[in-house]
A and B are shown apart, each in its own frame.
Chain A
Amino acid sequence: MIILYAGLVLGGLGLIFGLVLSFADKKFHVDVDERVEKVRACLGGANCGACGFAGCDAFAQAVVDGKAKPNGCAPAGASGAEKIASIMGVDAGNSEKMVARVLCQGIRGIAKERYVYDGYKSCMTAAGIAGGPKDCRFACIGLGDCMDHCAFNAISMKDGIAHIDENLCTGCGQCAQVCPRSVIKLLPASQKVRVQCRNSDTARLAREVCAKACIGCGRCRKECQYGAITIENGYARIDPDKCQGCGACAAVCPCHCISAPDTVAEAS
């Protein structure tokens, strides 16, 4: 008999709470746009912040609210942008894959070092001490501020400069943001030919501090059939829209500071 009472009391309580909960569920229901979840699934998921929002969730919400564009997530890339666009029913927009590139070849032995830095391991602190351990004031300092900020493990330090693995790089641009020397730039992944130096000092000064510095001699400009190269501020720049990727400039560069596309090497 006691067991029956106990069962009835507990069962009754369960029934009452169940009814209250189901009522509350209906009464206080919040409409969640299911597209937010779908968009969220297409994103990189590293919360890198490159989109400018607090994280992937915030970005997904912003896309659904129309505050962000479908191609705003660099790690998701073009395919991700297309998926998001199809979810949202809009055009994906142009989202050419960008990758971060280190525009410096000043490895040990190539770029002169003026002092041995053994202080706090941060490029920013080193840059503040007499302009950094390397003589060249445009060079990669190589203490890895960018590596610490890369959410995708794409950056490694070799021979005193940063190396970026293009396959792992998603183009989020966090490394370019933290670099105190602005030596990392976001460039289209398709652009294989690039000038890997940003030294805007005069040719003599540039040559003094690094064996692979661009001296702005202009031989690449003469060689280029497409008029893609200009010399500004003492170093060569390549217009990615005009460059056809032939690599003729790289072949004539006396300082070896233009990267050649692999295809050229094979063809020749």
Chain B
Amino acid sequence: MKVTFRGGVHPGHKSKKPTQALAVREYVSDTVKIIMNMNIGAPAVPCVKKGDQVKIGQVIGEAQGFMSVPVHASVSGTVLSVDNIPYLSENPVGCVTIQNDFQDDWVELEPLGDVEHVDPSKIVPAIQKAGICGMGGACFPTHVKLTLKPDQKCDTIIVNGAECETHLTADHRLMLENGKRIVDGLRAVMRALDVKNGVIAIEDNKKDAIQAMKQACFGRQGVRVQPLMTKYPQGGEKQLIQAVTGRQVPSGGLPIQVHVVVLNVGTCAAIADAVIDGKPLVSRITTVTGAVRTPSNLRLRIGTLVEDIIGECGGFSEDPGKVIFGGAMTGLPLPNTDVPIAKSTNGIVVFNKHDAVSVEEGPCIRCGKCVSVCPIGLNPFQIKAATDVDLLDRAKDLHVMDCILCGSCSFVCPSRRWLTASFKNAKQKITLQAKKEAAQRAAANQGGEQK
């Protein structure tokens, strides 16, 4: 039986065709630029200097506190420089550039061994040590998700193989080629949290992946495959939980409040590598598609430059208009191609000049399509009316902060209104305002204490 959530859209699933049937191939570049704040939370601090020799898996950036993971060298070779480079974030980020010597020397690994016999208390620390953070796109440190407070309990772990984004097939190929690893990772997490119920959720446009995962799960107790209806944003954490368990994550809440942890398939495979082999996260599968000569799924070392990746795919087939990290619906445009991939880069989509043009927005015609597709159940047209005149309080009352920025409303709007963009802007402004107010309050409190 297929399950799903309320709302959602169907952006061209045909766009997945070019890379769907192609096996993943490995690509290693001459130099890698490994940035230090790939994960949400505190950035790592570089612990190597220019001229150092490093091996694959060697820690080059140390984690800073609990909300942080270490960064490892993804190739063996010489450190060329340690500096700050402009990245996708607002401010420049720390970066270690390594020249590859193609020796592929690994550091000494500390495998924990088979999942069935490993000490459960060692699993979560091993995950942090391996530098694993959510590989579906958000890059939230995985060990933080898996560290439950005493009052929290978890009864289901969902592995997210929905891959609802247009164009991307990286997770699909991973499930086909490495299903066993995903199941091992899931079992490791189930053992660590002592959970008896593991669900691998896959959209039903990937029939072969469902089959492959069913085979991989065969004989594993408590693990099952759940087909999902093909619909965007089926892979959104909250939508997935609703579809699989029927539970709703409360407004502003986290999945753990409904006793669920959601992990991406890539994250699960990385967890299996970390636990069974002791290998840190140094490479990932990325879909490269759009206006490139040979669209492919590549296994790339973290820190490979987009320029090299495009070259490996035969270069641009048309004049590029925009190059996007992630899928076409939620991805981020790159300022240039001199940018390295991070742990969360699941796709690189190249738009040609024609597709990249921004359209002028028209007036709202009150058709209500945005309301019917919103997976959260918001009234996008009303929120947009508020954000257009900068009424942030009104937008907040209309729950703009619950918007997951999936882009469904902008996708269906016949007037091409910039709904999602304005909600993102409103969310940024509200967050900033809250920060300022908190700072003011703190300052006022301090003043009061001094008096």
Binding site for B on A (CB under 8 A): 114-115, 118-120, 122, 124-125, 127-132, 137, 148-149, 180
Contacts and interface: CB of A to CB of B under 8 A. Distances in A.
Given A114-B336, A124-B432, A129-B333, A137 B421 contact: no
Contacts of B88: 129-130
Contacts of B428: 124-125, 128
Contacts of B429: 124
Interface string B58-98: 00000000000000000000000000001111111000000
B48 interface: no
A114 B332 CA distance: 16
B257 interface: no
Contacts of A122: 425
Contacts of B424: 120, 125
Interface in B418-441: 418, 421-422, 424-425, 428-429, 432
B110 interface: no
Nearest to A135: B86
A180 B92 CA distance: 16
Contacts of A149: 390
Interface of B: 86-92, 332-336, 357-358, 390, 418, 421-422, 424-425, 428-429, 432
Contact of A131 (B90, B357, B418, B425): B90
Given A119-B358, A130-B89, 19 more contacts: A114-B336, A115-B333, A119-B333, A120-B418, A120-B424, A125-B421, A125-B424, A128-B89, A129-B333, A129-B335, A130-B86, A130-B87, A131-B90, A131-B91, A137-B86, A137-B91, A137-B92, A148-B390, A180-B90
Nearest to A201: B92
B418 A130 contact: no
B92 A131 contact: yes
A129 B87 CA distance: 9
Of A125, A127, A180, chain B has the most CB atoms within 10 Å of the CB of: A125
B421 A120 contact: yes
B90 A127 contact: yes
B425 A129 contact: no
A67 to B, nearest CB: 14
A216 B418 CA distance: 42
Contacts of A180: 90, 432
B425 A124 contact: yes
A131 B425 CA distance: 15
Nearest to B357: A118
Contacts of B86: 130-131, 137
Contacts of A119: 333, 358, 421
In order of increasing CB-CB distance, the 10 nearest A-B pairs are A120-B421, A130-B335, A118-B358, A115-B335, A122-B425, A125-B425, A130-B88, A114-B335, A124-B428, A131-B90
Nearest to B389: A148
Contacts of B332: 129
16 contacts: A118-B357, A118-B358, A120-B418, A120-B422, A120-B425, A128-B89, A128-B90, A129-B88, A130-B335, A131-B89, A131-B90, A131-B335, A137-B91, A137-B92, A148-B390, A180-B90
A152 B203 CA distance: 54
Among the interface residues B87, B90, B390, B418, which one has the most CB atoms of the partner chain A within 10 A?
B90
